């Protein structure tokens, strides 16, 4: 396998990527922290050629993206062209749309089939397609939960995983077990930690600042042949760039950089 590389998930700094100038300033900060790759997600309406130029100017590889489900339905040719321009092989959708989520078990069956179709088209263009989970997918339907249905009923060639460590734990799943289940089916993983605040409230934390088993998680990722380790923190206690920096330093101390 290739050596895994840390990436900054730009959703973490989404308030600072609305314009081309802000995007450039943010990538400069991300690179100064030490990241050499980023996931493009929730940025402003910046022309794709400018995104590529700014990333190149700052020594940042675009390793993967989050693309809205509707755009994957209506504008897939342009999505493919953008990813080829960026040299980015991995496409993901950030969540399951409400039209499927609100349909209970039947919605998972439909989404598995529809996502499989999108992934087949992307595969024909030499791109991968992955699903990013939250915790609602751990609702049970008989002997399976929603996430199990999704991956059991889709083709690994066309629908891969972008597991999120925090949301797996939040849903009551075993993070290390889920990484093992998705071995060779997960090019990108999202790393974020979980801490407890107050009496019982779960909260997102910088990697290494919470309670997840990071040595075990990173070892499992290596065994599963994960290519990119994307650090994401949806909610930060202060400066999100500092949160990205704390996670980077803690992961580097664990031997990953």
Q: What is the DSSP string of 74-114?
A: H-HHHHHHHHHHHT--EEEESS--HHHHTTHHHHHHHHHHH
Per-residue confidence at 3, pLDDT binned at 50, 70, 90?
low
**pLDDT score for 112:** 98
* 142-159 pLDDT per residue, tens: 999 999 999 999 999 999
Judged by DSSP in three states, 233 sits in coil
- pLDDT of 240 above 80: yes
Return the bridge partners of 194, or none: 204
**pLDDT score for 2:** 53
**pLDDT score for 184:** 98
- pLDDT of 1 above 50: no
Six-digit token pair at 233?
């923190």
Give the mean model confidence (pLDDT) for residues 37-59.
Answer: 98
**pLDDT score for 256:** 87
Give the mean model confidence (pLDDT) for residues 44-70.
Answer: 98
What is the distance between the alpha carbons of residues 138 and 135, in angstroms, rounded to a whole number? 6
- Evaluate the CA torsion angle 118, 4, 210, 205 in order and state its sign: negative
| Per-chain mean pLDDT for the chain | 97
**Domains detected in the chain:** 5-253 (3.20.20.150)
Segment (H or E) for 181: helix 175-181
**pLDDT score for 228:** 98
- pLDDT of 218 above 70: yes
* 76-113 pLDDT per residue, tens: 999 999 999 999 999 999 999 999 999 999 999 999 99
Per-residue confidence at 245, pLDDT binned at 50, 70, 90?
very high
- pLDDT of 36 above 50: yes
Give the mean model confidence (pLDDT) for residues 226-247.
Answer: 98
Per-residue confidence at 4, pLDDT binned at 50, 70, 90?
low
Give the mean model confidence (pLDDT) for residues 179-192.
Answer: 98
The DSSP secondary-structure symbol of 207 reads T
Judged by DSSP in three states, 144 sits in strand
- pLDDT of 257 above 80: no
């Amino acid at each position: 396998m290739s050596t895994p590389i840390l990436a900054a998930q730009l959703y973490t700094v989404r308030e600072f990527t609305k314009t081309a100038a802000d995007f450039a300033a943010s990538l400069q900060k991300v690179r100064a922290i030490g990241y050499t790759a980023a996931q493009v997600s929730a940025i402003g309406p910046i022309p794709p050629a400018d995104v590529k130029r700014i990333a190149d100017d700052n020594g940042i590889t675009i390793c993967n993206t989050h693309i809205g489900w509707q755009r994957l339905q209506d504008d897939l040719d342009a999505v493919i062209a953008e990813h080829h321009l960026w040299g980015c092989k991995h496409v993901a959708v950030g969540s399951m749309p409400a039209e499927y989520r609100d349909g209970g078990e039947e919605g998972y069956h439909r989404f598995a089939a529809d996502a499989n179709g999108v992934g087949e088209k992307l595969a024909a263009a030499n791109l991968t397609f992955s699903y990013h989970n939250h915790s609602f997918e751990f609702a049970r339907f008989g002997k399976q939960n929603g996430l199990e249905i999704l991956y059991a009923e889709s083709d690994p060639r066309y629908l891969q995983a972008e597991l999120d460590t925090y949301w797996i734990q939040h849903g009551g799943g075993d993070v290390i077990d889920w990484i093992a289940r998705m071995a060779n089916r997960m090019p990108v993983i999202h790393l974020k930690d979980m801490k407890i605040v107050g009496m019982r409230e779960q909260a997102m934390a910088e990697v290494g600042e919470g309670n997840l088993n990071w040595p075990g998680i990173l070892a499992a990722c290596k065994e599963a042949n994960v290519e990119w380790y994307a650090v994401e923190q949806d909610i930060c206690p202060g400066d999100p760039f500092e949160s990205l920096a704390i996670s980077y330093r803690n992961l580097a101390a664990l031997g990953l950089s």
